Structure 1
Amino acid sequence: MCGIIMLGTNGATWFNTAVLVTCMRNFPSDRGVVVGLLKGFIGLSGAIFTQVYTAIYAPHTGPFLLFCATFPPMVALVSMLYIRPIDPPRNKDEADDHKFTMLYITGLVLAFYLMCIILLQDFFVVRKAASQFFMFIMLLILLVPGAISLHPADGRQKIHPDTDSLFVKTPKMLKNSIRNPITVDVGHRIAELRNDGAVNNGGLPGSPSKSKLRLGSDYTLTQAVRTEDFWLLFFAMGCGTGSGLTAINNLAQMAESLNSKSIGAFVALVSVWNFLGRLGSGYISEFFMKRSGTPRPVFLLIVQALMGSAHLLFASSVPSLLYGASILVGLAHGAHWTLMVATSSELFGLKNFGALYNTLSISSTIGSYVLSVKLAGYLYDQQAAAANVRRCKGPQCFRLTFLIMALVCLIGCVALVRLVSRTRLVYRDIQRLKAASR
């Protein structure tokens, strides 16, 4: 069983990495928006497959597991025939923005629809025929993105090295007519834009731009782990996503300790707002970064503060406040993943992004293990032992855990303040460079 779980979780990581790297290289000017969409639909995928199981396979799990084992690989094999590198447009087309907007609307409609279905199935007995109808409507909504991609304005111009785009083709690529755009060293281009050779990391005015890697350049994993910025982002992610996963994993047990009968509602709220956090954080951070050069870590700081606020609401143990806490923890946890992906790609480049992204993701595993197993599990067992019961009852079961996690988020906010101060000039110059390429 351990081996099966290892294969399943690593398989999910392979899918995740392949999709993120491909889409961000194809749409480099809209990284936040693209990551928000991808991460958002990943967050909804569990609810989507649950509806398929309920409508077709329930209560038989064997055929459903066979479906899960065969359908995703088939999708991947078919996708290999169609997915290709795309040249960035020479001038940004408003039609592309409208398409992203339509995708966002589709995602919001799907999330709201699934939330209603989940709550309906949680509170009432729903016949199989009704579940099949619900699944049919869900599949129709999922087909909408395919219609958007067939819009006649879906054309992209070829790009040449003498343009102002962030992306160029190497001589070898031009020679072989390969349509795979790669990132130019953005650190060097920013230095040229500022005309002083000192963008970040202590460069001196007038110094050669090749003397030192700057944030925005294509880092290798070895080069990235030697920077303070990498570890600030790593630590902040561990604090935010680690404490968020601890709250989500213990949500049902915490509600049970408070004699709450709204466990299903809490789980549904976390799931839907997790999606909205992934979706919204990408769109909002992209908007402000393009408009005013606001560093994306600023939004990581905001959602980390929201996560800490959610922990304080959970620590209050007031039943009516648990709904708001569930919303905040779902929103903040989802937003962390979108913002981390976009931020790391902008600071360390796309060339080695797969290795960088998955190394940064380890922070969530470490944070979750420390806070969930070593903190929440230990304190829960201590309270149960003190009361000489098997299952802990009362607000004291998790109160200290959530207070400590709120403090952890505060420390994470301090790290993000430092990261914002170190990346402020970089994001300002990236914004100017993008404006010049339009």
Structure 2
Amino acid sequence: MSSTTLQWLSLVGTIWLQAIIGTNTNFPAYSSQLKQLLSISQVQLNNLAFASDAGKLFGWFSGLASIYLPLWLVLLIGSTLGLIGYGVQYLFITNQISSLSYWHVFLLTFLAGNSICWINTVCYVVTIRNFLSDRQAAVGITTSYQGLSAKIYANIVDAVSPEKHARAFLFLNSLLPVIVGLIAAPLVREFDATSPKHTRDGFAVMFVITIFTGIYAVLSSLQFVTSKASSLGIMTGILVSLLLPLLVPLSVKMKEIQENREKLRVYHFTMEENNSAERVENEVKEGEVQEEVGIIEEVGVKLMLRRINFWLYFFVYFFGATVGLVYLNNLGQIAESRGCSNTSSLVSLSSSFGFFGRLMPSLMYYFYWGKCRISRPASLLAVMVPTSGAFFLLLNKTDLALYVSTAVIGVCTGAITSIAVSTTTELFGTKHFSVNHNVVVANIPIGSFIFGYSAALVYHKEGHGHDEQVQCMGMECYRNTFIIWGSLCFVGILLALILHARTRKFYSQKQ
């Protein structure tokens, strides 16, 4: 099998991994049940959500491991950590283990959260290095599938075990990444070729498949559709859509076979002429890639931490995507407090729109490159504005406001996550990316603790009860929290504006 086909297969393997590693995104779907099973307060439940994000504080370990260890081994380490973290919790809530304290569960959740970093690092490294000249498109497509994780898990649970959400989710969280990791391990590796053949056609087909998958995910999340279609039918459709990307490496292989047959029918001198032209074309492509990479300065983590642009970028992410992720982590309790009973549908909706949010920046970048180009900081600025507005819209008590705001926050949070990968490579280079980006996303657990803990305290205070397990009902449970989060997003808008102004000259040189 040619290296070109294997490169496209590596992209497919990365898509499968990204689709199942967002185990922390389905936490809101079973958080209320977990709260009851463990008999814990809202503050303690928030600590578990924080623990999952806190695993990212040590994500740089996976970055170092990817430098010194084979990528398949890094992948299996991440899968094993998740198996232990979620698996032991599953055994605990099914009464097969009875000696775990709350802090044991906290540490296990922390371990499970760290496992995602290991698998994510492998996905980023493989995607960026195998598709260096088209890394924005490749990263956008693959990371968009992580936005589907919550929906995939929710649909499987609804089809198999609709009455025992917490147990079923923990069981799937522990096993699915291991199974898919074993399947994808032979595929996700680096190849020597700089740019595979048929990239334009290949990515065009990938975008069509990805958009189709996203539309199906959104439609199957709507209540009037789910009421008519069976959970098993929806789950089957999602699984089939995950197999569709295999059409790209298959078509590339067929094109190569066809090209080889055509070459056998031409004269020797024609073959030599075509080969020479192809070599010249490849040299031009490689020169373009080297030119693009040459513009980017390679910055190590120590130097990066001393730069103002890093801290501006860090806090833009902190007041944007991180606040959005904290909202999504608390979505179960927010929906419950507002009297919205269909939490699973709301989580699936946020997951589906997050899918499109991750995909949109790459789609626009790939097809409009050279026509309408804006810098990454400007892109961050553009998606921060609706994020801030969505939090203030949540002050409206209607279910429509809840659904619209959740969709907007899902889209914008996903977009920032996708844009950030390319922003890190452009501002600080690709050589140290695996460590640098894990340092950037370390803001997620920090924000998860600060924003989530404050929200939990407000929730407990508004519940007007002295019981640790007090349940708060009504708009006042999160009203002040939404105002604070919306204001923080506005601060992020100002910081993004400053970062855009400081990097304008840098991006103008790239055009």
Q: TM-score range by the shorter chain?
A: 0.7 to 0.9
Distance 1:161-1:271 versus aligned 2 partners, 3 A rule: closer
Give the aligned CA root-mean-square deviation in angstroms: 3.2
Q: Is 1:243 equivalent to 2:323 in the alignment?
A: yes
2:202 alignment partner AA: K
Map of 1:232 onto structure 2? 312
1:315 partner SS: coil
459, 482, 491: which one aligns with 1:380: 459
- The CA deviation at 1:239 is 0.6
1:382 alignment partner AA: K
Deviations 1:33-60 (A, max 9, x none): 2221111111113323444455567778
Deviations 1:274-322 (A, max 9, x none): 1110011222245555434421111101111111011011123333222
Map of 1:338 onto structure 2? 418
Map of 2:186 onto structure 1? 78
- The CA deviation at 1:3 is 4.6
- The CA deviation at 1:353 is 0.3
Map of 1:167 onto structure 2? 290
Distance 1:115-1:228 versus aligned 2 partners, 3 A rule: same
Map of 1:176 onto structure 2? none
Q: Is 1:98 equivalent to 2:201 in the alignment?
A: yes
337, 340, 344: which one aligns with 1:257: 337
Give runs of aligned pairs for residues 19-418 of structure 1, distance below 5 A: 19-55=123-159, 61=168, 64=172, 67-68=175-176, 70-79=178-187, 84-88=191-195, 95-119=198-222, 124=227, 131-152=231-252, 153=255, 160=283, 164-167=287-290, 184-186=293-295, 216-287=296-367, 290-373=370-453, 375-385=454-464, 390-418=470-498
Structure 1, unaligned runs of 5 or more:
169-182, 187-215, 432-438
Deviations 1:48-92 (A, max 9, x none): 344445556777849756742641331243225x65243136xxx
1:164 partner SS: helix
| Contact kept in structure 2, 1:185 and 1:218, CA below 8 Å | no
| Contact kept in structure 2, 1:311 and 1:325, CA below 8 Å | yes
1:166 partner SS: helix
2:323 alignment partner AA: S
Map of 1:205 onto structure 2? none
Distance 1:52 1:396 in 2: 34
Distance 1:408-1:68 versus aligned 2 partners, 3 A rule: same
Distance 1:163-1:330 versus aligned 2 partners, 3 A rule: closer
| Contact kept in structure 2, 1:31 and 1:286, CA below 8 Å | no
Distance 2:161 2:464 in 1: 42
Percentage of matched positions with identical amino acids: 26
- The CA deviation at 1:334 is 0.6
| Contact kept in structure 1, 2:150 and 2:351, CA below 8 Å | no
Distance 2:290 2:130 in 1: 10
Is the helix fraction higher in 1 or 2? 2
- The CA deviation at 1:390 is 2.7
State the TM-score, normalized to the length of structure 1.
0.77
Please identify, of 357-366 and 30-39, the stretch whose mean Cα deviation from structure 2 is larger: 30-39
Distance 2:336 2:154 in 1: 23
State the TM-score, normalized to the length of structure 2.
0.67
Distance 1:380 1:79 in 2: 46
Deviations 1:372-398 (A, max 9, x none): 11x211212221228999322222221
- The CA deviation at 1:109 is 1.9
Distance 1:167 1:243 in 2: 37
Distance 2:144 2:191 in 1: 22
- The CA deviation at 1:261 is 3.6
Distance 2:286 2:333 in 1: 57
Map of 1:208 onto structure 2? none
Distance 1:297 1:341 in 2: 12
Distance 1:241-1:23 versus aligned 2 partners, 3 A rule: same
- The CA deviation at 1:426 is 1.6
| Contact kept in structure 2, 1:21 and 1:350, CA below 8 Å | no
- The CA deviation at 1:363 is 1.2
| Contact kept in structure 2, 1:317 and 1:399, CA below 8 Å | no
Distance 1:63 1:261 in 2: 24
Distance 1:265 1:99 in 2: 33
2:294 alignment partner AA: D
2:211 alignment partner AA: L
Deviations 1:72-115 (A, max 9, x none): 331243225x65243136xxx7x423322222221222233234
Distance 1:65-1:387 versus aligned 2 partners, 3 A rule: closer
| Contact kept in structure 2, 1:293 and 1:430, CA below 8 Å | no
Distance 2:386 2:171 in 1: 41
Distance 2:470 2:161 in 1: 36
Distance 1:52-1:406 versus aligned 2 partners, 3 A rule: closer
